[in-house]
Structure 1
Amino acid sequence: MTGKTEKQLQQLIDAYNQGNASSTSTILPITSTPSQHRNSNEHRNVVEREPRRMREDPVAFMMNLGLYYQGTGWRGYKSYIGNKVFYPDFSAKMKTMVLSSKNVQQVINLLAERQSARLQLTQNKSKLSKMSEKERSKMVHKQQMALRKELQAVAKGIADKCISRMDSMRFIRFFAFTVNNILVRLYHQGIHIKESEWIELKRVALLAQEKKQSLILLPCHKSHVDYLVVSYLMFRLGLQIPHIAAGQNLDMPVVGPILQNAGAFFIRREWGDDLLYKTVMEEYLGTLLSEGMNIECFVEGTRSRLGKLLQPKLGIVKIILEALINDRFSDCYIVPISIGYDKIIETSSYANELLGNPKEKESLWGVITNTRLLQLKWGRVDVRVSKPYSLRGWLEDQLKHRGALDLTDSTQKAVLLKSLGYRVLSDINNVSVVMPSALVGTVILTLRGRGVGRSELIRRVDWLVRIISAKGGQVSEFHEMSTGDIVDRTLMIHKELIGEHKGKDILEPTFYGINPFELSYYRNQIIHLFVEEAIVCAALYTVVKKGGGKAMQRMQYSTLLEEVSFLSSLLKLDMIYKPGGIEHNTQRTVQWLVENHVIEVDEEGWVGLADIERQCGRENYDFLCFMIWPFVESYWLACVSLFSLAPPNKNGSPSEVPVWVESKLYEKRSQALGKTLYYQGDLSYLEAVNKETLSNALTRFQEQGIIVKRRYAEPKQWSEISLSNDYIPQRLNGILTPHGHLWELVEHIGKFRREGKNRRDNATVSTRVLRLADILGQDNLEPTPNQKALLKKLNQDNAKL
């Protein structure tokens, strides 16, 4: 780092510390030595001494308000790193640059010409024939001028909606004060960071500022609160507040303008064929990047309803990568960010959505204005920042590694984009912090039995902390708090999810999951740490579940590798694996399980449970299986539900033509089947019914050629699915039989399932489960309104022909 940059960083840190009257939290200079300052790797609560409620300490609260109003120290937001924002006419300047750009003007001219040509086709031909060439040319020119004017107005309307309005420093100081008070009240134990990570981010930000380059902040997306947390930390720690890509659902009265003034720009979920909208948005993002403005977007696209990271959806990142390839800007820095919460505000609504209930209307505005929520104490927030890296440097490395790529080819660009998406997700997972809620929730959901005593709960949480640390994961820092205190605190925060049995006739307090479905959100936050181990254990379970002696509960390594390959491939849309091929990863995973005495491998290549694991009642092996079983159940349910796509005709005979079912309706019916199977004992986990995993399973089956899908744009976007011919099940006397390719797939997935109390593998599938699928299939014979409209249109088109 240059001397100038180092000096700037020291000045910024001094400015941050100056006037920090209500907080002792500091960010250390990278030039300091341990003797001068505390260790920069320490975790700090940046809001440690912020007054939370006016009635608790009115003097401190009013002093804090005065410091924000006067703009004292870091609250003034005057010496932040990055190009200037929050000055009068900032948004007007951005709009002018976008709307007057060559690309936008070319598209406006193109659309005007197209619309003018359509108008000419509809005009009176006899009238046109009487006009001279000059008169027709003049008329067309006049039409195009009028159309250009209309399109200019449309483009301006798009810009007004999309472009953020970062014009007022006074507003952003007031907004920071408001957000500060929301966060310190809602998360009463503070916002915790690792100082060394923010020092590195500031170093990179200074380099970017010198070259007029942007930081691309890519946080995980767990809650609406994510928007507030990232921008608040950027404000508080002296970095340019990012322009945030937000869904159009947040553009509502009152809250929309507030968020736009704080940096949000609203984008549609679907852009379709709207060329003008697409061009304005791409030009806006290109302008932000060329001006060195920081951008924040969520690599998952939407909030994760399951707790784990979702597959990457890279619409904004795709535009950024293409702009870099087209040399719209010199470079930018990718900054993956992990945000961990003791408690998520939206988990109950997530659970309802995943079970297929109508989506509740909830929003960031609802959080801000819900006084009941702000009276609650929901623990803490932990924010971790991965090491930033140059996007151009990453691109050059990819081109070296992959060889010559044609960056004008959309398929090859898609490969690069997907690689970038998974790199970001991996970086987020690598720096993520496991919160106490995830520890306690995981233990409760991965133990056999109806509940767990407090002492056993503490013991297993201690074990989980050790094993996470041994795997290179990070657990939230609680300094001198004992595990018992952490567990008690978590049980109090989640008392609506975790119940307690206590009384004179109970020897010790015993805890159980009141709502395992909602509690699974927290368990899923650590699945990335154990996914490979869980899959290996589930593969071994195919023989362990058969019982018998030790010799009966083992398999050859080659067979284990085959089963691991099948399960890993099946779950690839739900799990994020470590880099490396299946053979290398399995070898590494098996070695780890052997070293930790979960399994053993003898000289002849037989793999089985280790003696130590048998002696302790399989508690560690079962823990790993419990992590993956709910997902296996979802895919088994999705596969069983496919039998409903082959219902008999009204007379009971097999259908001669494929049955097409509208996708969304089919998913709801599959959930209905799953709920029935759960309550009848044929499904072990209600969370297996969640629509997100079922949807991923159907997508995976489509990729494997088991089902086919057709998409339509009218009357609105919808799709329908059907079974591939090779997977249509067999019938005998009109009754489904357990034979054929689809049945073989059901059996293969069923081998990995947790053994239930009232069933043995797929023994019940050939009777009542297939009977239920047939009942569901009768509903699938009935066409939906969209299908009726499509059939009517096809009949009309045929009649014309």
Structure 2
Amino acid sequence: MGAPPRSSGNDAAAAARSQSKPPSDDQLPSIERETDVLTKQLGDLGSSRREDRRLAGQTGILTSEEHKLGDLNVVAAYKAHFRESPFEFLQQFVAYGQGTGWRGYSNYIGAPILYKGCSEESIRAVLNSEQVQERIRKLASSRVDHLLPEQPPLSPTGPNKTQKNLAIFKERKKRQIEQQLRDEALAILQVSVARIDSLSFLKFFAASVNNVLARMYHQGIHISVSQVLELRRVAAFAAERKQSILFLPCHKSHIDYLTVSWLMFRLGIALPHIIAGENLDLPVLGDVLRKGGAFFIRRTFSGDQLYPAVIKEYVETLLASGKNLECFIEGTRSRTGKLLPPKLGILKYVVEGLLNGRTDDVWICPVSLQYDSVIESETYVSELLGKPKEAESLLGLLSGSSSLLQLKMGRIDIRFDTPWSLQGFIKEQKDRRAAPGFKDEKVELDPVNNERHRVLLLKALGYRVLADINKVSVVMPAALIGTVVLTLRGRGVSRSELIRRVDWLRMAIINKGFTVADFGAMKTGEVVDRALSTVMKGLIAEEKDVMEPTFVPVKRFELSFYRNQVIHIFVSESLAAAALYTKVKQGGTAPMQRMTRKDLLSECLFISSVLRSEFVFGVDTLEVNVDRTIDGMVADGILEKHADIKPEEGGSIELSAKERENGRENYDSFLFLIWPFIEGYWLAAVSLLSLIPQGAEAQGYPTQKLPWFAAKDFEKHTQLLGKTLYAQGELSYLESINAATLSQAFTRMEEMGMILRKKSSHQKPVPIMALHPSFWPSQTAKLTDYIDRLSQFRREGKDRREQNVGVKVRKYTAMYIPAAVEVSNIKQRQAQL
């Protein structure tokens, strides 16, 4: 669809976008030579048998008919179980130990790693850097001045003995504090720095990860060989220039760390240094991950002036030496199945390193990791339903390891966007924002000297990476099935209908230019049956004693994880369908359900604005995106346009006769994708009624006190309200109460000025929130208008026909009156804002 009006600029700006593309083909190594090298690299799929070594030509490295690069399961011939092939199983580990073929990892592409003293060299470089030393000197001076404030001016005759002794003492104390800070910086580095020093350990590590992944994901680890070829070519280009590749994967599971590192080893590319949260720095495991490339950082740097300087310098030191990095763009694992908004902390350090001249360029490589099933799925559900996240522990991670190895969790698909230039991206953004047609905020972008401009640049970079991840992502069979099951009316679906709808969804995705996992020689029915009996077992049940095999979703919340892996493809269609639904739900004859283009644009603008933080939108204006979407839905036979009906308002749009005859199945599918998010945002808005202070209804806009409430407690209350409304039929989707959606909804409401958030002034500050006074009282203020407007987009059910906030909902919001943890003066707060 598109966020509220946003422009991509004129043709000059569009032309500038080419600057962030990969290097031109004539700058890269010969594609013929690299194809030959890669074919040899991937030709040995891990088996000692000669016939297996020839498997590459049969599984997609080179498709014999067209001589084009295809897809490949890189563990197709790997023997993952000792009992099945004991001799070959052991031979595989021996081959790793001996460094046979690619396992030797002797000709990897990239800056040197894996030599004795590699990590200590980085520690010394960071510790002795001018940036860290300057920060130490300033902190030491500040602390000395705090301990020993400046004395009165010296007398004309000069300092007396006491003053001389004090000056000497201050200088000695300063040097003492500087040494303490150097020791502290060294301690930070000793804990944080990656230890990719040992090739023998890395081969053992790679062999172990290979076995674990191949056993858990029995259908293999699939890559696009053409993407890998381009990745290796750009990697060679960057290595020649001592430039880094920054891998930016999405984050679905803790397995991501292992998967990307193992694949880099498998492909012969220098392992990246991986930014990881310190929660994974566990005894034993932390050391193993460090030796595999992880470096651990705190979740927050607040309150510590030395720590961020040390970490920033370490990142810039890695960039200066051309070493690869890896950072999860979302910052944390997505528990909902779709991408989270980008976290910009490490990106900020990378961009500043480039702007400060520590490197000539950095190559950005968005990475998509898709799993048929993730090992944390049950944990994700409990966390999203409000259970506190348990701290990681070695015992917790290992407790289910033996059973996990026995699971059949389907397949992993890994896709790489061709790396593009960060330097080119920055220039592109400068040109684009200076273009005459740019409508957001025309500025002469100066990210070096202007902090606000740097934030604009970082946000654009973050969302560009998310868009590229979505672009190369593969839709898995489980996602197809989960989406179909949750986007059909009725309790269940017959096997034949399920297969038919999976085929329809698969083609709809392909027609939109996205990728579906290759079914190979299997028919759709076989793929469906296999998924239902393995990765989706327990999520979808087969009804017994019926005339035709019929499947019913039994764990809708868990299935929403799979549905959300598809929504980015159809978000424009879903928002347009929801906008039209505000008219369709009113009923009546077909002509009565028509909507003018003007009204449709207005409804799309509103719902896109509400959900703008949930999805990655295109850079074109809302109007351009809506028109393009409607044209596509007309071409697909879902909608009809009538230019001659109300032409002064842009014509009219309605459901096509064909779509009505088909029971609105395609149109409704788009609605079912978006409704859970609309419900979640409606729930968050309704919950704000509880924050209206008592007496505000009668007093109108108050002028005295603004009560603040504990944010975490209020989010728990909102979930409790949602569970109650769901149980009583006022809420259609249990997944709408998930903590991630509600948290994002409150963040968006803060951006819209509906709520205020800050840290409390207590000794141990906690997040607190308040409803902006302009949104109370509830009967007349903007809050109720917002809720009523949002209600128009909600699914109409037999138990809920009210279009506004009903009596039952108001009763429950009035039952909970949170205790204020802090009170501030409204006029003072307005002055601060």
Is TM (by shorter chain) over 0.5? yes
* Contact map agreement 2:282 2:393 (CA 8 A) in 1: no
Return 5+ residue gaps in structure 1 as ranges. 731-736, 795-801
Per the TM alignment, residue 5 of structure 1 is displaced from its structure 2 partner at its CA by 6.7
Q: What's the counterpart of residue 55 of structure 1?
A: 83
Equivalent residue runs for 1:759-774 within 5 Å? 759-762=800-803, 765-774=805-814
**Cα deviations by residue, 1:495-542 (Å, 9 ceiling, x for unpaired):** 121111123xx1012111111011101100010110011011111111
Q: C-alpha separation between the residues in 2 aligned to 1:240 and 1:692?
A: 35
Deviation at 1:273, TM superposition (A): 3.6
* Superposition map of 1:651-690 within 5 A: 657-690=705-738
| Aligned partners of 1:634 and 1:688 also within 8 Å | yes
Post-superposition CA distance 1:325-375 (Å, at most 9, x none): 111111111000111111111121111111111213457985566101111
SS in 1 for 2:301: coil
Specify the code of the residue in structure 2 equivalent to 1:311. Answer: P
Deviation at 1:544, TM superposition (A): 0.8
- Which sections of structure 2, spanning at least 5 residues, go unmatched? 1-25, 154-158, 435-443, 646-650, 829-833
Structure 2 letter corresponding to 1:95 = I
Q: Secondary structure at the match of 1:275?
A: coil
Distance 1:131 1:26, change over 3 A: farther
Q: CA offset at residue 216 of structure 1?
A: 0.4
Q: How far does residue 723 in structure 1 lie from its aligned partner after superposition?
A: 1.9
Q: Give the Cα–Cα distance (whole angstroms) in 2 for the partners of residues 623 and 2 of structure 1.
A: 46
Alpha-carbon distance in 1 for matches of 2:117, 2:446: 41
Match of 2:610 in 1: 570
The AA in structure 1 aligned to 2:255 is V
The answer to whether the 8 Å contact 1:19/1:72 transfers is no
Do the aligned residues in 2 keep the contact of 1:635 with 1:694 (CA within 8 Å)?
yes
Which of 276, 298, 314 is the matching residue for 1:284? 314
Which amino acid letter does the alignment assign opposite residue 573 of structure 2? Answer: E
Partners of 1:327 and 1:488 lie apart in 2 by 56
- Is 1:597–2:637 an aligned residue pair? yes
The structure 1 residue matched to 2:457, chosen from 393, 416, 421, is: 416
CA distance in 2, matches of 1:17, 1:543: 56
Query: Superposition pairs for residues 226-375 of structure 1, below 5 Å?
Result: 226-362=256-392, 366=396, 370-375=401-406
Distance 1:713 1:216, change over 3 A: farther
CA distance in 1, matches of 2:394, 2:556: 26
The answer to which of 399-408 and 10-19 deviates more is: 10-19
1:723 maps to which residue? 771
Q: Contact 2:696–2:776 at 8 Å: present in 1 too?
A: no
Q: Is the 8 A contact 2:503 2:524 kept in 1?
A: yes
Larger mean CA deviation between 706-715 and 629-638 belongs to: 706-715
Identity %: 45
Query: In structure 1, what is the Cα distance between the partners aligned to 2:487 and 2:62?
Result: 45
- Contact 2:331 2:343 survives alignment (8 Å): yes
Which secondary structure state, in structure 2, belongs to the residue aligned with residue 53 of structure 1?
A: coil
Deviation, structure 1 residue 10:
6.5
- Distance verdict in 2 for CA 1:709–1:769, change over 3 Å: same
Q: Contact (CA 8 Å) 2:279, 2:391: kept in 1 or not?
A: no
Among 441, 444, 460, the residue aligned to 2:501: 460
- Provide the C-alpha distance between the structure 1 equivalents of 2:235 and 2:337, rounded to a whole number of angstroms: 30
Deviation at 1:121, TM superposition (A): 4.1
Check 1:212–1:248 CA distance in 2 against 1; reply closer, same or farther (3 A cut): same
CA distance in 1, matches of 2:277, 2:179: 29
Q: CA deviation at 1:436?
A: 0.6
Structure-2 separation of matches of 1:495 and 1:54:
26
Q: Does 1:141 find its partner at 2:171? A: yes
The answer on whether the counterparts of 1:24 and 1:48 sit within 8 Å (CA) in structure 2 is: no
Query: 1:382 is matched by which residue type in structure 2?
Result: D
Give CA-to-partner distance per residue, 1:86-129, whole Å, 9 cap, x none. 11111111101110111111111111111122222499x9xxx9
Paired residue secondary structure (1:659):
strand
Q: 1:495 corresponds to which residue? A: 537
1:703 pairs with 715, 728, 751, which one? 751
CA contact under 8 A between 1:598 and 1:620: conserved in structure 2?
A: yes
SS in 2 for 1:377: coil
- Partner amino acid, structure 2, of 1:541: Y
Match of 1:117 in 2: 145
Q: 1:21 offset after TM fit, Å?
A: 5.5
- Say if 2:413 is the partner of 1:382: yes
Question: Is the 1:17–1:73 Cα contact (8 Å) retained in structure 2?
Answer: no
Residues 386 and 427, structure 1, Cα contact 8 Å, conserved in 2: yes
Residue 115 of structure 2 corresponds to residue 87 of structure 1: yes
Alignment of 1:411-490 (within 5 A): 411-490=452-531
Q: In 1, distance between residues paired with 2:98 and 2:232?
A: 25
CA RMSD of aligned residues (A): 2.6
Q: Secondary structure at the match of 1:153?
A: helix
SS of the equivalent of 2:413 reads strand
Structure-2 change in CA distance of 1:689 and 1:535 (3 Å): same
1:744 shift after superposition: 1.2
Output the amino acid matched with 2:410: G
The corresponding residue for 1:734 is: none
Matches within 5 A, 1:627-646: 627-646=673-692
Q: Deviations over 1:633-671 (max 9, x none)?
A: 011111111110114269999887433211111111111
Change beyond 3 A, Cα 1:41–1:331: same
The residue that corresponds to 2:105 in the other structure is 77
**CA–CA separation in structure 2 for the residues paired with 1:90 and 1:471:** 47
Following TM superposition, by how much is the alpha carbon of 1:59 offset from its aligned partner in structure 2, in angstroms? Answer: 0.3
Q: How many residues align?
A: 769
Pick closer, same or farther for the CA change 1:442–1:143 going to 2, 3 Å.
Answer: same
User: 2:41 matched to which residue of 1?
Assistant: 16
Task: Indicate if the aligned counterparts of 2:640 and 2:656 stay in contact, CA closer than 8 A.
Answer: yes
Q: Which amino acid aligns with 1:262?
A: G
Report the 3-state secondary structure (helix = DSSP H, G, I; strand = E; otherwise coil) of the residue aligned with 2:330.
Answer: coil
- Counterpart of 1:104 (choices 132, 139, 144) is 132
The DSSP-based 3-state class of the residue aligned with 1:467 is helix
For 1:379, give the aligned amino acid: G
Higher relative contact order (CA 8 A, sep 6+): 2
- Tell me, what secondary structure is at the counterpart of 1:675? helix
Instruction: Identify the match of residue 171 of structure 1 among 190, 193, 201.
Output: 201
2:793 alignment partner AA = F
| Residues 225, 364 of structure 1: 8 Å contact kept | no
CA distance in 2, matches of 1:447, 1:187: 29
> Which residue in 2 is equivalent to 1:750?
791
Is contact 1:13-1:27 (8 Å) kept?
Answer: no
* 1: CA distance, partners of 2:43 / 2:587: 68
Q: Distance in 1 between matches of 2:486 and 2:356?
A: 50
Confirm or deny: 8 A CA contact 2:103 2:203 kept in the other structure.
Answer: yes
Letter in 1 for 2:756: V
State the partner residue of 1:606. 652
Of stretches 345-354 and 432-441 in structure 1, the one that deviates more from structure 2 is 345-354
TM-score by length of 1: 0.92
